[in-house]
Every structure is written in structure tokens, then in C-alpha cells.
A and B are shown apart, each in its own frame.
Chain A
Amino acid sequence: AQTVTQSQPEMSVQEAETVTLSCTYDTSESDYYLFWYKQPPSRQMILVIRQEAYKQQNATENRFSVNFQKAAKSFSLKISDSQLGDAAMYFCACTNYGGSQGNLIFGKGTKLSVKP
């Protein structure tokens, strides 16, 4: 079974600084996707970034980037130039590819606070 672990229940960062959120996962699949979702107080789940396991290059989306270490099964999210609007719960998620066993497994989340 797949598992996703986020070891940091809460994190805090100063506005304009950089913060890294940690995520480790476990899967027996060779093909899978990894995601980071953001959930602000509005409750809406918003996709931040995704990474295909077969791609060695780390995904980037503007101020958001990942450090994907496949051998270590690690998938951390780096937020650069943090903004007040980045304050939210962040969830790491994993899903395998194809077949009838595909499902999305979420970590418990990390609550990020941004200090002005």
C-alpha cells in the first residue's frame, strides 16, 4: 500500500523568505505521480505542482519548486519569496499510474504560516 508522510505539522516563514516543506512516500509502483496541493482557509484544494516519477528534472512553477529524490522517496516543496497569500495547509499526495488500482494518497498536511 502507498503511504505519504509529512513530518512537519506546522511551519513558519518570514515574508519574502524561502521555506521548504518535507514529504516522504512509499510505493511499490514504478510509475507514479506526486503532487503538492494547497488548502487555504477557504477550504478549496488547489494544485500547486506535480512531478512525474519517470522525469528526473525537478518540476517548477514560478516561486514553487520541488526537490524530487526518487531513490530516497523524498519530495519536498520549496517556496521562494514567500507571500502572505501562501499561508495555508499544504498536502503532499501520490498516485500510481494505470490499472484499476490507481488512487490518490494524501499526507496529513503541513500548516504554513507567513509572518509579515
Chain B
Amino acid sequence: DAGVIQSPRHEVTEMGQEVTLRCKPISGHNSLFWYRQTMMRGLELLIYFNNNVPIDDSGMPEDRFSAKMPNASFSTLKIQPSEPRDSAVYFCASNRNFLRHPSEQYFGPGTRLTVT
């Protein structure tokens, strides 16, 4: 298996621009998670889906952030408009079925976002 796939690996954009991060979970995994990692705040869960349905989005910092999972093999995290404080590494992770089997999550390589 290819593991969790994220694209792009690096993104540099200007303040005010829209940014879309993409994730393909491991085939057969029903749960998908978006995390943000910064030096100041560490790893934070932004949102997670189970069977394509958002279960908990309480970590989404504000309305500029939105996430979708249109099907079992694809998810996006969008920031519109982006701000310099959004600069971070964004991780996507998946696992078999978090609500029934909260075993380990498999992480993608992350997207390093820089907003200038």
C-alpha cells in the first residue's frame, strides 16, 4: 500500500490567497483526520471524518478553514483567505474505523504551508 498521500508537499502563497490541501487515505480506512503542527501549539486536531461524515470539527480555528470528504478516497482542507499565521505543517491521517477501533493512525508526509 502507498500509505496516506498528501499533496502538495510544500506550498508557498501570499496572504489573501486560497489554499487547498489534498489527502488520499489508505484504501479501506474509514476515518480521516486533519492535523496542524506549529512550534507554538504543537500538533492540533482540526477535524476528523468517519465514513465521509465530519464527526468533530471543533478544532477548526475559524470560518476561513473548511474541509470536505466527497468520497472514501479523497479529502480537502481549504483555507480562504490565507493569513501568515496559518503557516504550519498540515498532516492528514487515516485509520480503519476510529469510532470502533481507535488504534493507531497512519500519517501522511505532511504539507508545509508558508503564507507570506
Enumerate chain A interface residues (CB-CB to B < 8 A): 33, 35, 37, 42-47, 50, 91, 95-109
With CB as the reference atom, state the residue of chain A lying closest to B104.
Answer: A47
Secondary structure class of chain B's binding surface, majority of residues: strand
Q: Which residues of A contact B89 (CB under 8 A)?
A: 43
How many residues does chain B have at the interface if contact means C-beta atoms less than 8 Å apart?
A: 23
Enumerate chain B interface residues (CB-CB to A < 8 A): 33, 42-45, 48, 55-56, 89, 91, 93, 98-100, 102-107, 109-110, 112
**Contact indicator B43/A106 (Cβ below 8 Å):** yes
Docked Cα-Cα span, A89 to B26, in Å, equals: 24
Cβ contacts A to B, 17 pairs, < 8 Å: A43-B89, A43-B112, A44-B109, A45-B107, A47-B105, A50-B104, A91-B42, A96-B102, A97-B102, A102-B98, A102-B99, A102-B102, A105-B45, A106-B42, A106-B43, A108-B42, A109-B43
Q: Which residues of B contact A105 (CB under 8 A)?
A: 45
